[in-house]
Amino acid sequence: MNFDKEFDASGLSCPLPILKTKKALADMTSGQVLKMIATDCGSVKDMQAFADQTGNPLLSSTEEGGKYIFFMKKK
Amino acid sequence: MTTKKMAIIATKGTLDMAYPPFILASTAAALGYEVQVFFTFYGLQLLRKDLSDVKISPLANPAMPMPVPMPVMVQMLPGMETMATMMMKDKLKKKGVASLEELRSLCQEADVKFIACQMTVDLFDFQKSDFIDGIEYGGAAMFLGFAGDTDICLFV
């Protein structure tokens, strides 16, 4: 999937992946896509909840070799 | 969509009890909530510039997981609190949990409003210069003015 910005939250625990996602989205423009990588398994449900509550669509959420990869579109 | 609001009363000044208010406040702010945290009694310690006095004690804390079982008589020895605090901080760091300082500044960056209880500041003769910048001082009525209109209100 194409993306405009990427950051790696590997090794960080709740709530840092969410807080850093929020920060990363702040300097993006509407429609741009953020790729976020995390190792915290709690981030799967947290990212979905973040998307539901903020209205930024979670385009995909996958797991690959212990890493969780998210693509989120800025609303 | 109207902005959701959350109010938290933080009354504890130990390392373990310092985390919930800062985690919930920073996360709620990231979710778009307007957040206020009212720090009273021992919770005021969490607003000090220097957080090195925020510790955890194994004493009277039977649920705290210990690497080796430790009798209460040993837990009360001098230096045990400092050692437990060091071990807990080390564990938090290893597991990628943010430090209190980091979570606190993330809260402030996200416009979480911190209110220090003026009565407790006076009671314990705290100096305003001991506290971080960007906080407000107020009382119960000021807090309730905001809390009465919130979606979530927690006492920690």
Q: What is the pLDDT of residue B143?
A: 93
Where is average pLDDT lowest: A9-13, A29-33, B48-52, B68-72? Answer: B68-72
Q: What is the pLDDT of residue A48?
A: 95
Q: What is the pLDDT of residue B60?
A: 87
What CATH number should be reported for the domain holding residue B50?
3.40.1260.10
Tell me whether residue B69 is in a domain. Answer: no
Residue by residue, DSSP assigns B114-154 as EEEEHHHHHHTT--GGGBPSS-EEE-HHHHHHHHTT-SEEE
Active site residue A41: no
pLDDT 10s digits, A16-63: 999 999 999 999 999 999 999 999 999 999 999 999 999 999 999 999
ipTM of the complex: 0.85
**Closest Cα to residue B152, out of B33, B39, B12?**
B33
Do B32 and A12 lie within an 8 Å CB cutoff? no
For residue B1, is pLDDT > 70? no
pLDDT 10s digits, B70-110: 888 888 899 999 999 999 999 999 999 999 999 999 999 99
Do B23 and A22 lie within an 8 Å CB cutoff? no
**Closest Cα to residue B5, out of B115, B148, B155, B107?**
B148
Domain extent for B136:
5-54+100-155
Homologous superfamily of A5-73: TusA-like domain (3.30.110.40)
Tell me whether residue B37 is in a domain. Answer: yes
Q: What is the pLDDT of residue A74?
A: 97
Distance from CA of A37 to the nearest CA of B (A): 14
Total structural domains within chain B:
1
- Among A10, A18, A19, most B C-beta atoms within 10 A, so best to mutate, is A19
Sheet holding B34-39, edge to edge: B136-138, B113-117, B34-39, B5-10, B152-155
Q: What is the pLDDT of residue B114?
A: 98
Q: What is the pLDDT of residue B69?
A: 84
Q: Would you report the helix, strand and coil content of chain B in percent, each value rounded to 5?
A: 45, 15, 40
CB contact at 8 A, B29 and B59: no
For residue B23, the chain A residues in CB contact (below 8 A) are: 14-15
**Smallest Cβ distance to B26: which of A19, A21, A39?**
A19
Cis peptide before A17 (omega within 30 of 0): no
Q: Catalytic residue among A4, A14, A48, A63, which? A: A14
What value does the mean pLDDT of chain B take? 94
Do A22 and B97 lie within an 8 Å CB cutoff? no
Tell me whether residue B124 is in a domain. Answer: yes
Give the pLDDT band (50/70/90) at residue B67: confident
Name the residue ranges covered by the structural domains of chain A: 5-73
